[in-house]
Homo-oligomer: A and B are copies of this chain.
Amino acid sequence: MEKSIDRATCSVLRNAEKSGIRTVWERYSAQLPQCGFGETGLCCRHCMQGPCRISPFEDGPREGVCGATADVMVARGISRAVAAGTASHGGHAKHMARTLLRSAMGEAPDYPIKDEAKLQAVAARIGVSVDGRDAAAIAGDVARKALADFSEKDSPLTWAATTVTKGRVDTFLKFGVVPTGIDSAVSESMHRTTYGVDADPVNILLGAIQCALADYSACHMATDLADILFGTPSPVVTKANLGVLKRNAVNIALHGHNPLLSDIVAQVSGEPDMTEKAKAAGAPEGINVVGVCCTGNEVMMRHKIPMATSSVSQETVLLTGAVDAMVVDYQCIMPSLANIAECYHTKLITTMPIAKIPKALHIEFHEDDAKESARRIIEAAIEAYGKRDRDRVHIPDESSTAFAGFSTEAIVGALSLVNREDPLKPLIDNIVAGNIYGVCLFAGCNTVKVTQDANYTAMIKELAKKNVLILATGCASGAFARHGFMTPEATEQYAGPGLKAVLTAVGQAAGLGGPLPLVLHMGSCVDNSRAADVAVALANKLGVDLPMLPVVASAPEPVTEKAIAIGTWAVAAGLPTHLGVIPPVLGSKVVTEVLTSTAKDLFGGYFIVEPDPVKAAEKLITVLGERRRGLGLSA
């Protein structure tokens, strides 16, 4: 299997191979063959009478020491993955809420309210009074309501109840999966999956869905609060791929997830004295900040900062030899980065108390003194620049233009240029007319198990030519950005005639002088909530619930427990959700059936597992057709 279809990645990896530096691909090879029990979910380590394994064949044990069946083990495993994903997005959102509260209380001067309109919109939505109150007072109440969503209460989570359709609320009530606390949902999932608690696989899965809906709430909260503190994204044009690194600048790569760190570093890196210091250190082009993974998405949307790479290829940024500091917060940060940084002059800088890496430089980031923390980080990068071995620098001359920052507000804003009174009408009219066959949200990661980007690029071509409108978040965005799919040119090249006409009309109205890009970049992983908002707005406008809409989701290369959580809430939200990698469920017929079939009866959404990207696209198009017919539209 090829490692990647991305030229920049391949070029750097060839170099690394020559230098004898191992990357994720070699580590993966060393793991092969992977444990079949683990791959199918048939392993349980939830008590010390184990580890237990269930044979997928007739000859081995059919139950663990406690009597847990294959169905129970697999359901427990998935449930814990959803819990971990929810805990991660919850940690991110809580971090944001606490900072917003401190901002409101005047304790975080580096975090002013940047987007008062968004603050007011969020406040109004969640029932915080805005009339005649100043931003700090409103923000304080919004933050307190956000923090209250973490602990269990007798009512649904505010961030769930106020952001979904009435139909979803009814469905969630009907199946007892209304989330009532983010941290408490994680805790309950961990409780019910411990030794001797829940042994009903379907009940365990319903618990996982409840937890996943808490994950949805956390994602939405993270998005809302990021917009309030840092601004709601609007379209920007920037670049993506390793070629955005500069030979004659101090290169700082921001990697991780939470804009609380990265946005401040981005801000401070633009201060004149920082540029001066960089120049004084011998970098004529000053400081060049680039993004990696979801942090890359956050700063790309709000600061036009180019994205170097994402996900599975994160090590390649360091392998260019041109990065002076990689600054990380949490999530998806390979521990191997420390070993690779060590092969160069690069400083790997950890910043969060819950995410340290041995051999990295730890500069703890404090919100009450954020810019000062950022300055220390940038100065460490400038210092490292002086030690860069210019003979080892290898920056591939590869980068693509990328239009980014299509927040829900930006999309509605663009549509309102076509129809000011009723912005969603052009979208709906075009769906009805068949110019837009349906909508597909691409999300998720890149995995070492699939040739990097291959699934994404194969799928988008199939879908686009069938006039499917493409949204993307997270590392799906990274993949599309690297390969030039976030450009008007891609629309010209790949979009079917109906889709092209629509994107062109909106693009013209928006003054682009051409079509919108083929992929609308909606942001980071937590910004899947933006895509949900678009779907909810469409459903409410049409007066139907989400499972009626011709909207699907796809994670062609999922990796993280967060992806499992997001996929699960997408299903609960009514979306047919494609996975290009088989999750660890095949050991249980019951779990596999519930996730791929029964879920459809209960929630309307369900998982479609299909490793072949062309077949996957065909399946999604078939599903969109079914949904169109369900609405009485041509298919």
Contacts and interface: CB of A to CB of B under 8 A. Distances in A.
Given A38-B50, A151-B151, A581-B48, A61 B31 contact: yes
A562 B298 CA distance: 39
A30 interface: yes
Nearest to A77: B45
When all copies of this chain in the complex are counted, the total is: 2
A61 to B, nearest CB: 4
A46 B196 CA distance: 22
A194 interface: yes
Interface residues of A, number: 97
A47 B560 contact: yes
Given A194-B561, A196-B330, A200-B358, A335 B66 contact: yes
A69 B357 CA distance: 11
Contacts of A199: 333, 335, 338, 355-358
Interface in A395-452: 447-449
A91 B191 CA distance: 7
A51 B38 contact: yes
A67 B335 contact: yes
A338 B94 CA distance: 41
A203 B335 CA distance: 14
Interface in A317-347: 330-339
A87 B191 contact: yes
Nearest to A38: B51
Contact of A28 (B65, B335, B353): B65
Contacts of A335: 63, 66-69, 72, 196, 199
A63 to B, nearest CB: 6
Nearest to A48: B559
B31 A196 contact: no
Interface string A285-323: 000000000000000000000000000000000000000
A563 interface: yes
B191 A84 contact: yes
B193 A84 contact: yes
A190 B31 CA distance: 24
Contacts of A88: 190-191, 194, 197
B48 A558 contact: yes
A34 interface: yes
Interface string A192-213: 1111111111010001000000
A129 interface: no
A583 interface: yes
B563 A331 contact: no
A333 B187 contact: no
A334 B196 contact: yes
Interface string A40-76: 0001011111111100000011011111110010000
Contact of A51 (B27, B35, B181, B184): B35
A449 B49 contact: yes
A356 B203 CA distance: 7
Contacts of A189: 87
A331 B197 contact: yes
A1 interface: no
B49 A559 contact: yes
A364 to B, nearest CB: 11
Given A48-B584, A186-B190, A358-B200, A561 B195 contact: yes
A513 interface: no
Interface in A538-585: 558-564, 581, 583-584
Q: Residue among A83, A86, A87 with the most chain B CB within 10 A? A: A87
A183 interface: yes
A332 to B, nearest CB: 4
A560 B69 CA distance: 18
Interface in A363-406: none
Contacts of A259: none
A150 interface: yes
A183 B152 contact: yes
Contacts of A65: 24, 27-28, 31, 448
Contacts of A233: none
12 contacts: A24-B49, A35-B53, A43-B45, A45-B584, A49-B448, A49-B449, A91-B191, A176-B353, A194-B561, A197-B333, A199-B358, A200-B358
Give the 5 A-B residue pairs with the shortest CB-CB distance, closest first: A67-B336, A38-B51, A151-B151, A87-B190, A199-B335
